[in-house]
């Protein structure tokens, strides 16, 4: 069975179980992370979006304008509304899935106060180049969205950055804020809950299979209800899991990168278009469905399930396709041709750090069979 979200192998089960019961070694964890963020203060938050909200509050970005990618998830919409931030959406480049620098120059306004850049799928966005392009606008805060890019050294070049732990680590939930050392932040405690328990089971393939088959109705509703409005710290269990699996994930990330490049080569041979590679940690192994069968993307995803290959489509519904966003900010989709195209064609294939070339070959064989029978 092949899934996109992080999986815990059965032989690591004991480690995972211990993470549920022991107390947190925050000092040990900080020591592991200091090499990645030598000049930043790190704050663990309930979710990545909590860290983003802290950034808005600390930098007083309420009632201002913010530049951000049009191709990003719509969890930002309620936050923009809550803080009355006017979004200025930017179209992306289809090779990198990053915002284009020409777009920034075209759309930036005198009252833009911040720009959100995203290291989409794990490919680092060049923040230093952006800073030099924006030399005349030193008032503009650069916020790095590192939700997909732990382990690649991102998060140090922007003014402030945030991470989402559970996308790369089996942490159930969790975000991290990397901010200046003088920020004073104290967050209320949060606790392991029922949703976390379900997420824990979802890290083991028999349960993951069960949830994929039967949970598609309830799963999308549950997190939305539980991902709370209040700002909160990260619960002990998720912090332990992150800490306990950090080194193993770090060590095996080279294997992931090597496999990703092999995977991309095989996909290209089938007509898929793949993301640039340099520095990419491949949080998601993402590609665009071949043009000649692009209207079959959803059928391909559906049919692959029969072969035990569970792909995702992040983001088939990016923020600018959200109906509320379209109404509220008068979006003209003609201004975002690449975002619209990516949303129609994107597929994220399963890739785990522990896979071997044989696993990738099996997935590719399944893709070939599905395409041949379209
Ligand atoms: C690019 C990006 N930024 C931010 C987030 C928010 O992270 P979290 O789910 O931890 O709040 C997500 C995922 O939901 C994301 O994909």
CATH of the domain at 359: 3.40.640.10
Q: Which domain holds residue 169?
A: 10-372
Burial track 98-124 (b if 16+ CB lie within 10 A, e otherwise): bbeeebbeebbeeebbbbbbbbbbbbb
Specify the pLDDT at position 218: 62
As a whole number of angstroms, the distance between CA 299 and CA 109 comes to: 42
Per residue in 130-153, pLDDT tens?
999 998 899 999 999 999 999 888
Closest by Cα among 289, 317, 315, 319 to 301: 289
- Report the pLDDT averaged over residues 181-200: 94
Q: Is residue 1 part of a domain?
A: no
371 CA distance to ligand 1 middle (Å): 31
Are 290 and 272 contacting, i.e. CB atoms less than 8 angstroms apart?
yes
Residue 41 β-bridge partners: 179
As a whole number of angstroms, the distance between CA 64 and CA 85 comes to: 5
Q: Which of 45, 68, 73, 92 to mutate to test the pocket of ligand 1 (most atoms within 8 A of CB)?
A: 73
Atom of ligand 1 nearest to the CA of 165: 10
- Report the pLDDT averaged over residues 271-297: 97
- Closest Cα to atom 2 of ligand 1: 147
Q: What Rg do the C-alpha atoms of the chain give, in angstroms?
A: 20
164 CA distance to ligand 1 middle (Å): 6
261's tokens: 């490049």
- Based on the structure, what is the number of domains in the chain? 1
Specify the pLDDT at position 227: 54
Specify the pLDDT at position 187: 96
As a whole number of angstroms, the distance between CA 279 and CA 128 comes to: 15
48 CA distance to ligand 1 middle (Å): 6
Are 162 and 147 contacting, i.e. CB atoms less than 8 angstroms apart?
yes
Taking 80 as the threshold, does the pLDDT of residue 30 lie above it?
yes
Q: Is residue 138 part of a domain?
A: yes
Q: Which of 164, 168, 315 to mutate to test the pocket of ligand 1 (most atoms within 8 A of CB)?
A: 164
Q: Which of 124, 147, 226, 312 to mutate to test the pocket of ligand 1 (most atoms within 8 A of CB)?
A: 147
Q: Is residue 299 part of a domain?
A: yes
Taking 90 as the threshold, does the pLDDT of residue 181 lie above it?
yes
Specify the pLDDT at position 136: 87
222's tokens: 């549950």
Within 6 Å (CB) of ligand 1, which residues are found? 47-49, 72-73, 75, 118, 145, 147-148, 164, 175
Are 58 and 183 contacting, i.e. CB atoms less than 8 angstroms apart?
yes
Specify the pLDDT at position 22: 87
Q: Is residue 193 part of a domain?
A: yes
Residue 265 CB: number of other CB atoms within 10 A? 12
Quick check: bond before 315 cis, omega within 30? yes
Specify the pLDDT at position 229: 72
47 CA distance to ligand 1 middle (Å): 8
SS3 for 154-166 is CCCCCCEEEEEHH
Q: Is residue 359 part of a domain?
A: yes
Closest by Cα among 197, 206, 367 to 293: 367
Q: Is residue 3 part of a domain?
A: no
Per residue in 56-73, pLDDT tens?
999 999 999 999 999 999
Taking 70 as the threshold, does the pLDDT of residue 345 lie above it?
yes
| Helix or strand holding residue 86 (H, E) | strand 86-90
As a whole number of angstroms, the distance between CA 324 and CA 331 comes to: 10
Specify the pLDDT at position 221: 59
358 CA distance to ligand 1 middle (Å): 31
Q: Is residue 5 part of a domain?
A: no
Closest by Cα among 350, 79, 372 to 228: 79
């Amino acid at each position: 069975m092949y899934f996109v979200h992080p999986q815990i192998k059965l032989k690591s089960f004991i480690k995972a179980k211990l993470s549920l019961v022991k107390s947190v070694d925050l000092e040990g964890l900080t020591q592991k992370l200091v090499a990645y963020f030598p000049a930043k203060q790190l704050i663990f938050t309930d979710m990545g979006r909590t860290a983003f909200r802290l950034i808005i509050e600390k930098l007083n970005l309420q009632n201002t304008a913010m530049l951000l990618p049009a191709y990003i998830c719509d969890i930002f919409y309620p936050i923009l509304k809550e803080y009355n931030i006017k979004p200025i959406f930017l179209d992306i480049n289809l090779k990198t899935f990053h915002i284009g620098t020409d777009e920034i120059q075209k759309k930036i306004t005198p009252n833009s106060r911040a720009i959100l850049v995203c290291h989409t799928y794990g490919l680092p966005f060049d923040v230093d180049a952006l800073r030099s392009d924006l030399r005349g606008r030193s008032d503009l805060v650069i916020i790095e969205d590192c939700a997909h890019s732990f382990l690649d050294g991102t998060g140090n070049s922007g003014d402030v950055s945030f991470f989402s732990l559970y996308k790369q680590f089996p942490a159930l939930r969790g975000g991290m804020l990397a901010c200046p050392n003088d920020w004073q932040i104290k967050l209320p405690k949060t606790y392991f809950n029922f949703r976390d328990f379900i997420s824990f089971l979802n890290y083991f393939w028999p349960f993951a299979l069960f949830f994929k088959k039967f949970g598609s109705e309830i799963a999308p509703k549950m997190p939305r209800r539980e991902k709370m409005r209040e700002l909160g710290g990260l619960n002990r269990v998720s912090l332990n899991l992150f800490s306990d699996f950090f080194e193993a994930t770090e060590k095996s990330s080279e294997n992931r990168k090597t496999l990703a490049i092999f995977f991309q080569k095989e996909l290209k041979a089938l007509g898929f278009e793949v993301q640039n590679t340099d520095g990419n940690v491949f949080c998601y192994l993402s590609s665009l469905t071949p043009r000649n069968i692009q209207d079959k993307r959803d059928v391909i995803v559906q049919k692959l399930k029969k072969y035990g290959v569970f792909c995702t489509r992040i983001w088939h519904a990016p923020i600018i396709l959200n109906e509320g966003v379209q109404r509220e900010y008068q979006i003209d989709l003609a201004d975002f041709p690449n975002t619209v195209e990516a949303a129609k064609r994107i597929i994220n294939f399963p890739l785990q750090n522990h896979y071997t070339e044989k696993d990738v070959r099996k997935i590719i064989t399944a893709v070939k069979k599905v395409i041949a029978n379209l």
